[in-house]
Amino acid sequence: MTDNIVYDNHFNGNEWFVIGVTVIFLAAIWLFPRRFSPTQTTFNLLIGIVLGLIFDHTIAVPPFDLYDVGDQSKYQLFDMFSYVMYAPFGYWFIYWYERLRICGILTIAYILVWTGLSIGMEWLSVQVGVFHYKDSYRLFYSIPIYLILQSVHLGLYREVFARERWKRR
């Protein structure tokens, strides 16, 4: 078991970043026209959190332990709030997919664009101290993770909410 690493012990930039990103992007959801049923909205918000938790708890804990979240290497209460930050990204990912009517080969380009946006947000998160890389972990290692996560998210959304599936009933 490794010792606890303390990166910070104040409520400051990294916590305000998490709060700001969450509030701004959730407020935008409220302000934009509704495109989804309550079930679809809930699905898209929760899938962002769930997929974030799965991958963070796969590669950010032993045996991999590639990075830490928040002010310490031990999980603290506020670290749980940082996962809420993923919720609006799950929503916006599908919102723009549907709004722009992405299909076919453009789906690959769309996932690549969102991977770029995700890398940008992760970079900002590292800059403000939300994430702390350990050992030899580098930002570009997250690219395949985002490609997989967004493909899984889109696949699950399309499977669960396929128009043809609901027309047959």
Query: CB-based contacts of 119: which residues, under 8 Å, 6+ apart?
Result: 139, 140, 142, 143, 146
Tokens at 125, concatenated: 């998160």
Using alpha carbons only, give the angle 53, 87, 83 rounded to the nearest 5 degrees: 40
Helices (H), the chain: 13-31, 38-59, 77-84, 86-99, 106-128, 142-160, 163-167
pLDDT of 58 reads 86
Single-letter code of the amino acid located at 9 = N
pLDDT of 165 reads 53
Single-letter code of the amino acid located at 14 = N
Cβ atoms of 99 and 32 within 8 Å: the answer is no
What is the overall mean pLDDT for the chain? 91
pLDDT for 27-68, tens place per residue? Answer: 999 999 999 999 999 999 999 999 988 888 888 888 888 999
pLDDT for 69-105, tens place per residue? Answer: 988 888 888 888 888 999 999 999 999 999 999 999 9
